[in-house]
Each structure stands twice: as structure tokens, then as C-alpha cells.
Structure 1
Amino acid sequence: MTEGRGGRAAARSVEAVFREDRSRLRALLAARFGDLDLAEETASDAIEAALARWPVDGVPDKPLAWLLTTARRKAIDRIRRDRAYAERLAMLQVEADRADPPTDAEPGFDDIPDERLQLFFTCCHPALSLEAQTALTLRFLAGLTTPEVARAFLVPTATMGQRIVRAKRKIRTARIPFRVPGPEELPTRLPGVLRVVYLVFTEGYAASSGADLLRPDLAEEAIRLARILHRLLPREREVTGLLALLLLTDARRAARVDADGNQVLLEDQDRSLWDTELIAEGQQLVVPALSGPAVGPYAVQAAVAALHDEAPDVASTDWPQIVALYDVLLRIDPSPLVALNRAVAVAMRDGPEAGLALLDRLTDAQELRGYHLLPAARGDLLRRLGRRSEAAAAYRAALDLVGNDSERAALVRRLAELTDR
């Protein structure tokens, strides 16, 4: 093999390993040294070393082990050279117990621990703002670059860079530990982690602003993160419920926009485009997520999504069961948004008049002010009742609030249909 071809093969090997295990490598280093910056820098150093050595020596049998060993040694070298790390060196006693990291040939290295769960709880620590939690999770667990995270938040790269720096500084100064909460803490800490993953998915499934309705990159990263959590916490039913919800919802992605990128509403979607493999996987997960006492909100939402996915069309959907599930959701996780979704389901079960009466009770809800789907839903029900002028006014109100261009175009089309008639 020529040097050029060997270099390209090595580069592909490094890329493949790092794509699959980059968050795991960073998590292992962060857990070992207690510093996100050091973990990121030494992981990059190890990658550079692999690009230099693997074309010459060949790709090792255990690439991740090689990268981890190299990164650990480079971290030790950085700590020894940098006075800024002197206090941290003493605190972590790195010299004492980790001066000679194991090589990939040493026993026990076949089973490299997966420390990503620790990193999840560190990035989503309640001492950090939700904005910071989401940014750190995308950066260090999803593996997005700072410019990619900035695009997800629709802010300049420099702004996001400063935000991530401040969040990492907060972790250092507040001495937020790199650890998994104990059994007594887990019930209060896990919902925060799940919320961040769900927020990433919802932004990918229905972008809050921009030209495109879908951000498949974010939706897929959220599903990947949910799969990691499910693998690490297989007995946590809400983790199972979240993964089921994401799969069952993402299964409809291909039918949610037409060839021109225009939004297609649920009632108009070509259900033959829905991903049957994702639906089957999600349906299998719903059962354990709902089994046992104290069912969680993600499991209930997954059950709603499963009912939508198994119906051949909107008319034959089991709306009474969906309303009953929203009743459960209102009891365990009440919010105006849940009430809005329940009102729409009631309209499908009992008629638009019944749903409209429920929606009208939500017009003063603080959480729904500025939320375009409330007036949009009112417009749809008013249109079905033949109250065209009121429906047009509701659609115009929704247009004043919507941020996504694809959703805006859909509202314009509905408004135009009323005007044309």
C-alpha cells in the first residue's frame, strides 16, 4: 500500500473510531481528570497522534484503547508542564495513581468502561442553565463542533463559544462532580437529562425558526443520545419511554414535508412513507415503559405516538384512547401545552365545538403566549365549523407568532384557502 493510500486508510479508521466513540473517549478522560477542556484537548492530541502513527504502524486491534492510552499520557504531560494545573494535579493525585496508564495489551483493557453517563449528569447539572446544559450536551456527548452548536441555537459562533466557556468554567469553579447520582438522587436528576435530549429532538423535528421545518441532524443526534442512555440505564422506564417516543415520532419524518420542503399536516401525510422499522422498535419499547407503577410522562406520550402510528388514517385513529392518555398526562405532568394537545384530541373525538371550548380556556395561559400553535389550532377548528372570518383572524394571529418559514407557508396556504372561498 502506498503512503498516500495508507494515510487515507488510517484517516478513515480514525474518523470511524472517533465518530462512534468520541463522546466515550471524552467522557473517560473527563472522569479521569475532572476537566472538560483537558479531556477535549488531549482527545484531539490522541487523534493527531493516530493520524501520524497508524499509517506507519498499522491500525491497532483495539483503536479506542490505543487512543485512550495515548490521550491519558498526553494529559499527564500537559499537567506536568502547565503550572495552571498544579493545584488540580495535587487534588486529583494524578501522579500517584495514574502516572503509568495501561497499554492496550494489558489485561482488563478489553472491557473499557463507558463513562458517558457521568458526563450526561455533569453537562445537565441543575447548577447550569438549561441553555448551557443543552449546549454542553451537544458539544461533548453529541460531538457537534462549536459552529454546529451555534447553528442549532441560531447564534453566532463566537457567542456560542463564550457560552460554552462560561459553562465549563462554572463546572470547574462550582466543582460539579463527574459522577452518576446515587439511587436517592437519581429520581430528581434524571428528568433534567431526559429533558435536554427531548429539547434537542423537538428542535430537530420542528425547528423553531429558519427556512426548514426539519433538522434531521439534531433529531438523529437526540435519538443517538437516547439510545446511549437506554443502553446505560436499561431499567429506567422513563429512559425507555423517551427513546420510544423519539423513534415513534421520527418515524413520520419523510412524510412531514413535500418535495419542495412544505409542511404536510398529519391528516394529509402519505403514511406509506412512514418508517415501519422505527415504528416496530418504538412499539416494542412502549410496553416495558408503561409496565409497573408510577408511569412517567415520556412513556404516556410514547403511547399516544404509537396510537397515531398504528392507525391507517386520521379518521380511524383511536381518539378516545388518546384523550384518555392525555387525561393521565394532565394528572402526572400538567401543563397548558398538554391541555392544548388534549383539546385537539377532544375535537377529533367529540367534534370541533367541544375542542374549541377547551382551547378558548387556554388563551390567557402565560406559557402559551407567543406560541403560534394555539391560534393555529383555533383557526383549524373554526374553519371546520364554517366560521371563516374568525378562522382567518386566528390564522393571522398565528402568522404573527410563527418563526419557521415552512410552518409560515402552511398557515399562508390555509388562510388563502379561506379567502379564495
Structure 2
Amino acid sequence: MEVEKFVSQCPYPMLRIGKDGKVIYSNRAAELFLHEWGIKIGEKVPSSIGNTVKRVIFRVNPETIEMKFRKKVYLVSFHPLEGEDQVNAYGFDITSQKKLKEKLRIKERQSDALHKIGRMALRRESLQAFMDESVKLVARTLGVEYSKIMELCPDGNFLLRASEGWEPEFVGKVIVSGSKEYQAGYTIYSKVAVIVRDFKKEKRFSASPFLKEHDIASGISVTIGKIEKPFGVLSVHSKRPKRFTADDTFFLNSVAVLISEVIERRHAEEELRQYKEQLEELVKQRTSELIRINERLTEEIAGRKQVEKALQNNVYFLETFLDAIPSPVFYRNLEGIYQGCNERFAQEMLGLPKEKVIGHSMFEPTFRTIFSHIIFFVFFSHQSQYFNGFLIQI
């Protein structure tokens, strides 16, 4: 009696089913099964369940199957009764576990998608190709029909830059108003993710004419780029009302961050490329200038060498000419510095080599001593006299 009461009040569904497929016993919790099957005790279960019962009895081996009733999922285990053509069926509510498993599966799928987008971001493909692949992956991951990237233009409106589900010819042509009366503009205005479960019930803004033309019922949108200077909006939409989760929002925001980083990096690379080209052009110009200057310097150096050679020839000619004169000859500047002389003046009159005369002052002690002797000799003779063979007159 106590056992029967326990079984009857057990929160888990319990059934006993015969080999013929008729329900022999059902506790209160299992009445949900009978109701869903549309039968009563003594009546046959659905053929698929009846086949399972026969197989378990024939093989004398338990089997387990999943069965869904309304919004709940049960794991039903069939166990043969020894010596009888009957089985006991025990049901366990695994709805929470199934939801958790599905949630983990969704998160795993979203994580894989982010990994793929991250890898695409590292490849050296065009920005347009990256955006095109990203919206395709986003739509497939979130299980929606549409996904798109709208770029915020200087005039405050949006330009369709990449899309999935929309007609390909719309890309680069469709313009959507940036007014906060529509979802894209409201997303920039609100600075947070915007979720629409059903546009028919939405009070904050209206569906844009572009969305209405495609019978869009729900969607979610996030900002791409910095709040103070956004690039645009990433959004997904569906033709059926859809309850987007916090995980969906996180995933879409994460994709938006990756897209933003790629856009910023590509812009930086473009600026760097332009700067490099400008620098190379500047270096080219400066190099040309240096080549021209170097050519002019080379010409000037060659000219100066010719002048120097001519001057050296002139100096050599002058020295040769002076040395050929039989009389002592010298010339000096106003400061008394000897600029040149012949050998007779240096050697025979002064008794010095030319290199110790040229460039020296007549007021140096050596020259003063020599000249004092010459003047003394001439002064005391009171007449023209020869000094070292030269006629000196005072």
C-alpha cells in the first residue's frame, strides 16, 4: 500500500506497458504523457512507442529515448520486467539540461564565429571582402535571414556597405535616413544595443521604409566604432518575431568591435601608405636636388682646379721670370710682408733662401739686422758704394 502511494505521488512519470502496446498503469505525473498521446489506461500507446516496448521485451535490454511534451523534454527509460511481457517506463524532466546544452551549443557556435572573423581580420584581404564575409557569418550564427553593415555618412544618413539576405545590388547604393525615428539612427543616438522583438509592438521608433519593404518583424543593432565617432551600425533582422538573448547581444557587440578594429587598422595603413608615398616622393625630389647640386659642385671644383693650375703656371712663370732678372727684385704689401722675390735678392743680398723671405715681414729681427748693416755702410761712406757687389745709393 505504501509502495503504491509512493509510486502514485512520485513527481516523475511512471508507466507500465504490455507487449501489445496497451497502458497497464500510469501514475499521476505520467498523465501528461497519456494526454499528449490522446489515450487512457488500457489503450495502446503510439506505434513508435509500441515498437520500442516490443524491442525491449524481445532483447531483454533497457532503452532510453527523448520525448518532448509541450515545452518540456523528458528522458524516458524502458526496462523489461523479468518473466513478464511488460516494461516499466520512467520519465525524467531534462528540460533545464537541454536548455543549458542548447545554450552551450549556441555559445560554442558564436565563439567559433568570432574566432573565424578574428582570423579573417588578420588576413591581408580588402576591407569590403572582410565586411561581406562577416555579415554572412553573423546571419548564419544567429539564425536570421538578414544581416548588414550601415556606414554613417557625413550628412548624418546611412549607406549600405555590406549585406546578407538583401539584394546584392543594394550594396553601395541604398541610403537610409539617420533620424532617430528609425532603428539605425536610434542606435547611434542611444549609444547601446537596440533590440526589437516585434516591430508591430515597438514604441521607440518605426521600421524604416527599407525594412518595411522586406516585411522585417524583429532585429538587433549595435554601434560600430567609438561612441564619440562611430563608423556605423551592425544589425541583424528576421521576418519573424524573435527573442534575442543577452548572449546574442554580446556576440554582435564583439563582432562590431572586431570590425571597428579592422576599419581603424586599414585606415591607419592607408594613411601610412600615403605618408610613405609622400616621403618617397620627397626623398626623390631631394635626391634630384642633391644630384644637381653635386653636379654643379663638381663643375665648380673642376673650374677651380683649372684656375688653380693656371695660377700655379703664372706663379711658376713669375718666379722663373724674376730669377732670370740679373738685378735683385722683390715685392711686398703695405704691411711690409714680402710677397715674392728673385734668387739674387734672397741669396746674394740677404743671404737667405727664398722660403725664409717670402711671407715674412721686413720688420722681423733678422731683416732689421741685415738692413742696419747695409744702411751703416752706405751712410758712413757718404757716396755710392757697392755692398756685396750691388750698387747702393742714398
- TM-score clears 0.5: no
Which interval holds the TM-score relative to the shorter structure? under 0.3
* Bigger share in strand: 2
Which of 1 and 2 has greater Rg? 2
* Bigger share in helix: 1
Normalised to the residue count of structure 2, the TM-score between the two structures is 0.23
